[in-house]
Amino acid sequence: MPDMAVELAVELVSPEEVSYSGAAEMVIVRTAEEGDIAFQAGHVPFLGVLATWSVDVLRAGGERDSFAVHRGFVEVSHNKVTILSDVSEAAGEIDVSRAEKARDRAGGALKADPDDAAALEALERAELRLRVAASASA
Amino acid sequence: MPGGKERELRRRINSIGSTKKITRAMELIAATRVVKAMQRANAARPYARLITGVIEDLAAGGAEADHPLLRQRAQVRNVGFIVITGDRGLAGAYNSSVIRAAERQLMGHVSEGKGYSLCCVGRKSAGYFRFRNYRIADAAAGFSDNPSYDDARRIAETVSGWFLSEAVDQVELIYTEFVSMGTQRVVVRRFLPLVDTEMMAQQGSGTDRGSSFEFEPSPQAVLEALLPRYTEARLYGALLDAAASEHASRQRAMKAATDNAEELITKLSRAMNQARQDAITTEIMEIVGGAEALGGDSRGEAESQPDALSAGVQAPVAAAAGSHPV
């Protein structure tokens, strides 16, 4: 590959800490309105609002790290990808049984009140966690 | 009675000794917590820095600085105050200096005929203002020594809500800034409207540094999503600073208390030793005096009853020894 030398510097930053920092060939995120977008080295400066969805970091050699990201932003400039988010969890850190419980609880709340925005958000978060955890173990 | 004074002093020394143990323990606990709090404050810095950077890029990229959170009100009728203190005392002047600064601010605005909304963070400020019959619009407590981002978000949402619903036209944030281990100072910062970002936006619109940015969905939409996060991050930073300051103040206060206790113990021990010595001297004087008095008597009686002399001298000594309190 011609661009082996040029890599993206990736940082996942939450208010509490820098939760991940490393180099990658490609970063795939999903923005709030437009859909999936992948960044490689040399991408034009970009600033976007992220959906409650996964962020996939593809490292050289085909390794892949998945993160569940809630309420985030992505900024790309000068081959540096910064993901700012309230919560970002690596696939390995996700507590599956807790996420399942949260999903069931939120599902129950939604059955009682289909307009419950908080429950809808909770459901979205729990499903994302489960999906990211499943993709990592697969 | 001299023996009573000695006992009294010994009791006080023991009690000060146990106080000293407690203050020493609190000092050590605060010392470890202040290190942790500083680490947390440092770990939170990248996010605050990056989010400010993103706002600068946005401003440079042409987002208009026309968000409700940025808008200055022409007339300020009501002022909101966020007062950040600790949940517990025994931290020297930490709580009282924040409260004093807050009350001064509040009185200043009230004397100009403005209304106020008070958000008390930490039990100490809530207690103070409630006792003095101030109207407390919102109170949050229970996390002053270890605040989480969720705590910051809750408070920021509440207060931003006041601002957006025009219940208040301006919000001041009063907390203790952690400058270093040795220096913490009480500061009053404008929390809303966000003056810093407005300034940044105005400066940014002149340059074309970020004009090549692509925005999704649009600069305005990104800004809209970002500004609440920015207020939360600022409040979170203030909470972390306040927590580190609280622990540092407590460590200092407890160190002073421990030193004080040591000094008191030395002083009281000396007084106690002196009292004991006095008691012993008095007793010896009594014995000698008694012996002499009896000796004089027996000498007088010796002429009539010479065989009672030896028994007469021994008896008072035995009686004195028996009355010794120890």
For B175, the token pair is 């907390």
- Domain ranges for chain A, please list them: 8-91, 94-137
Q: Which residues of A touch B212 (CB under 8 A)?
A: 44-45
Q: Is B236 on the interface with A (CB under 8 A)?
A: yes
pLDDT tens for chain B, 326 residues long, are 456 888 899 999 999 999 999 999 999 999 999 999 999 999 999 999 898 888 888 877 766 667 888 888 888 999 999 999 999 999 999 999 999 999 999 999 999 999 999 999 999 999 999 999 999 999 999 998 889 999 999 999 999 999 999 999 999 999 999 998 889 999 999 998 887 555 555 554 444 444 578 888 888 888 888 889 999 999 999 999 999 999 999 999 999 999 999 999 999 999 999 999 999 999 999 999 999 988 765 555 545 554 544 444 454 444 444 445 54
Q: Is the pLDDT of residue A3 over 70?
A: no
Neighbours of A42 (CB within 10 A): 10
Residue A117 — pLDDT band, cuts 50, 70, 90?
confident
Q: What is the ipTM of this complex?
A: 0.81
Q: Is B217 on the interface with A (CB under 8 A)?
A: yes
- Give how far Cα B65 sits from Cα of B47, B117, B166, B203, B222, Å: 22, 26, 19, 11, 12
Residue B26: name the closest of B92, B125, B84 by CA.
Answer: B92
Asked if the bond preceding B193 is cis, omega within 30° of 0, the reply is yes
pLDDT at B326: 45
For A78, the token pair is 């000068």
Q: Which residues of B touch A86 (CB under 8 A)?
A: 149, 153, 229
- Domain ranges for chain B, please list them: 27-255
What number does CATH give the domain B27-255? 3.40.1380.10
Query: What does the alpha-carbon distance between residue A29 and residue B226 come to, in Å, rounded to a whole number?
Result: 18
- Test the A interface: residue of B39, B50, B157 with most A CBs within 10 Å: B50
For B74, the token pair is 């022409």
DSSP readout, B139-150?
Answer: EE-S-TTS--HH
Which H/E stretch holds residue B96? helix B94-111
DSSP bridge partners of B308 = none
DSSP bridge partners of B116 = B79
- CB-count burial class (<10 Å; 0-12, 13-18, 19+) for A41: middle
Cα of A138 to nearest chain B Cα, Å: 32
What number does CATH give the domain A8-91? 2.60.15.10
Query: What does the alpha-carbon distance between residue A3 and residue B297 come to, in Å, rounded to a whole number?
Result: 120
DSSP label at residue A41:
T
Fold of the CATH domain A94-137: 1.20.5
| Of residues B46, B48, B57, nearest to A75 (C-beta) | B57
Spell out where chain B has E strands. Answer: 78-84, 115-121, 136-140, 170-178, 184-192, 214-216
- Test the B interface: residue of A49, A53, A71, A80 with most B CBs within 10 Å: A49
Q: Which residues of B touch A84 (CB under 8 A)?
A: 47, 50-51, 54, 229
For A128, the token pair is 């994302």
Say if pTM beats, i.e. exceeds, 0.90: no
